[in-house]
């Protein structure tokens, strides 16, 4: 019989991830504070449970996909550690701060559980399509046990090192993404004001040293480069509010280890302005509208 997995947090991302576990033959016991999220999980074939404790009882693995560190600590300390079967493998896929990830994994290991932090790259479409990238922190043994479960939900599963290193990889990557997006938008806005046609600038820069993923895979200008959220009124894609969340985690982690991140700090301040202007639900490439003035 295939393994039973407890899945806690079936929101925008978790719903698709749990559906992919079901498609790959796992049985899923689901819990979410939201009744509508739980109903959707039931429709997809999961067994809805009345509490996190009930969901994890008897499961061989526990996957969590929660908003932030405080929810993760609450769910593990409040329910999972007390109710999970000895020998269950624990996987937290939420994006949270490195310190909380390390503290939670240390607490799990203290109680005899193997646990990994396994945040994802890729948005809701990748969660639904089973094409997420997982960046995993934890021991070699825990990683090997987590790998087949994560492979059922993603296209790439990469071991980033010890506990918390999955979160470290995620926030360093997204800080780089935030900074290159801001820089790309600045360059387009300035080129336009000088009188350089945006398409011409794209044609030149995309094959020159200013090229980046933000330019050639996710161009922030409508009608230029491949199809991107810019071509859809900045709807869909990766919300500016979530980019701000990741930049805050990055700047906080940098301060804790005395790393100098002036570009990351500026990107955080700019995304804070964008969110304050009421645009937090729009794709993060819409920062170009703020920079164009």
CB nearer to ligand NAD: pick between 63 and 189: 63
Name which of residues 44 to 73 contact ligand NAD (CB under 6 A).
Answer: 52, 65-67, 71
CB of 43 to ligand NAD, least distance (A): 15
Binding mask 70-89 for ligand NAD (x = CB under 6 A): -x--xx--------------
CB of 241 vs ligand NAD, minimal distance in Å: 10
Q: Which of residues 180-239 bind ligand NAD (CB under 6 A)?
A: 238
Instruction: For ligand NAD, give the closer residue by CB, 94 or 180.
Output: 94
> Known catalytic residue: 155?
no
Using CB under 6 A as the binding rule, whether residue 8 contacts ligand NAD is answered as yes
Residues in the chain: 293
Q: Between residues 33 and 291, which has the closer beta carbon with respect to ligand NAD? A: 33
Residue of closest CB approach to ligand NAD: 11
Binding residues for ligand NAD, how many (CB under 6 A)? 27
123 binds ligand NAD (CB under 6 A): yes
Report the nearest approach of ligand NAD to the CB of residue 174 (Å): 9
- The one catalytic residue in 23, 42, 155, 170 is 170
Kindly state whether residue 280 participates in binding ligand NAD, applying the rule CB under 6 A. Answer: no
- From the list 9-17, 80-88, 222-230, 279-287, the region that binds ligand NAD by CB under 6 A is 9-17
* Rounded Cα–Cα distance for residues 72 and 168 (Å): 17
Structure-derived torsion over alpha carbons of residues 203, 196, 215, 218, reported in degrees to the nearest 10? -100
The piece of 32-40, 136-144, 196-204, 256-264 that touches ligand NAD (CB under 6 A) is 32-40
- Of 69 and 220, nearer to ligand NAD (C-beta) is 69
Single residue of 32, 97, 279, 283 touching ligand NAD by CB under 6 A? 32
> For residue 220, which of 175, 279, 286 has the smallest C-alpha distance?
286
Report yes or no: 20 and 153 within 8 Å, Cβ to Cβ: yes
Q: Would you tell me which residues interact with ligand NAD (CB under 6 A)? A: 8-14, 31-34, 37, 52, 65-67, 71, 74-75, 94-95, 120, 123-124, 238, 242, 245
Catalytic residues: 170
């Amino acid at each position: 019989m295939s393994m039973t997995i407890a899945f806690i947090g079936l929101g925008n991302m978790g719903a698709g991830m749990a559906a992919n576990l079901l498609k790959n033959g796992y049985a899923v016991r689901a819990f979410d504070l939201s009744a509508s999220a739980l109903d959707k999980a039931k429709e997809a074939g999961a067994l809805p449970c009345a509490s996190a404790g009930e969901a994890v009882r008897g499961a061989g693995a526990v996957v969590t996909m929660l908003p932030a560190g405080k929810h993760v600590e609450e769910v593990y300390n409040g329910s999972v550690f007390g109710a999970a079967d000895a020998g269950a493998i624990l996987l937290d896929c939420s994006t949270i701060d490195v310190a909380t990830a390390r503290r939670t994994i240390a607490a799990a290991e203290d109680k005899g559980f193997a646990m990994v932090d396994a945040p994802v790259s890729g948005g809701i479409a990748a969660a639904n399509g089973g094409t997420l990238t997982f960046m995993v922190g934890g021991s070699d043994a825990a990683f090997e046990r987590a790998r087949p479960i994560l492979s059922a939900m993603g296209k790439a599963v990469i071991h980033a090192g010890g506990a918390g290193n999955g979160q470290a990889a995620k926030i360093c990557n997204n800080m780089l993404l935030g900074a290159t997006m801001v820089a790309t938008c600045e360059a387009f806005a300035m080129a336009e004001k000088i009188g350089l046609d945006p398409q011409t600038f794209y044609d030149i820069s995309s094959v020159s040293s200013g090229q980046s993923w933000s330019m050639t895979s996710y161009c922030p200008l409508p009608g230029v480069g491949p199809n991107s959220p810019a071509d859809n009124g900045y709807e869909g894609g990766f919300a500016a509010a979530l980019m701000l969340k990741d930049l805050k985690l990055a700047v906080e982690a940098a301060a804790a280890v005395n790393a100098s991140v002036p570009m990351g700090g500026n990107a955080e301040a700019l995304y804070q302005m964008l969110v304050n202007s009421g645009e937090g639900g729009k794709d993060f490439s819409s920062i170009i509208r703020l920079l164009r003035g």
